[in-house]
Amino acid sequence: MADLAIGIVGAAGRMGLALTRAVGEAAGCHLVGATEMPGHGALGADIGTLAGGAALGVAVTEDAGALFAAADAVLDFTAPQATAAHGALAADNVTVLVTGTTGLDADQQAMIEAAARSVAVVQAANFSVGINLAMALVEQTARLLDADFDIEVVEMHHRHKVDAPSGTALALGRAAAKGRGVELDAVAQRGRDGITGARERGAIGFASLRGGDVVGEHSVVFAGPGERLEITHKAGGREIFARGAVRAARWAADKPAGLYSMADVLGFNG
């Protein structure tokens, strides 16, 4: 079987460079293209050099259409508007799309779901193996513990992160809500300030911290009478997300059209 041809959009960002390194380290795949937004300072540079390694002969361009035409799979950790457009390109070229972009609105998410009717799309708030295992544990724990146990999701990220709560925090909240048999939107408490009154029974609370260069830390706290259980994941580097995304691309390469999650990739869904 020929190597999987992988392209990276947003390749010169922190996550894009981690993806470049992960593709280079993975067996059975090779990098065929890298793009950035028009006017970006990295345009024309070799992506291998930008990532701190040897030159790969792959220059950063702004031509996402050509990238999707050349690649078997494209890795996308960009921004909601760009990701929605990339969904359309994936469908047009029948190119597997692996996306970890968070913060999509309803219309942007609909474009990703439309793409998944034509090609395999793997969408996840977090591509690390550990956090996806944590999500499974959170769902199971929430199913076993009744509403006497309050649920709080606490996350911390670097100062540059623009959305809050993080996509991973919301995914953990959805896992807890699923375990409780409720919709997250009906029970979420996404911020407290001033005189808020007592905590509502059954609420799932969120707290977002920002500062420094923290890659990502998430805890789900189950606080009950006389005891507290915490499920915590701490990311030491973006490499764990990048390796997971490459794993997802290789897994999806022979899958039929559909919208898949990292839980599917890891076999958590059977």
- Point out the catalytic residue in the list 86, 157, 218, 233: 157
Annotation says 158 is catalytic: no
Please give the full DSSP string across 240-267, using - where no structure is assigned. HHHHHHHHHHHHHTTPPSEEE-HHHHHT
Instruction: Give the sign of the dihedral formed by CA 257, CA 29, CA 102, CA 187.
Output: positive
What is the biggest distance separating any 2 CA atoms in the chain, rounded to whole angstroms?
Answer: 63
Structure-block tokens of residue 269: 């869904």
The number of CA neighbours under 13 Å toward the Cβ of 220 is: 25
161 belongs to the catalytic site? yes
**Exactly one of 30, 161, 178, 255 is catalytic; which is it?**
161
Token duo for residue 53: 């390694």
Q: Are 60 and 91 in contact (CB under 8 A)?
A: no
The answer to whether the beta carbons of residues 34 and 41 sit under 8 Å apart is: no
Query: Which two tokens mark 31?
Result: 């990098």
Look at the block and give the residue holding tokens 């361009």: 61
Please identify every residue annotated as catalytic: 157, 161
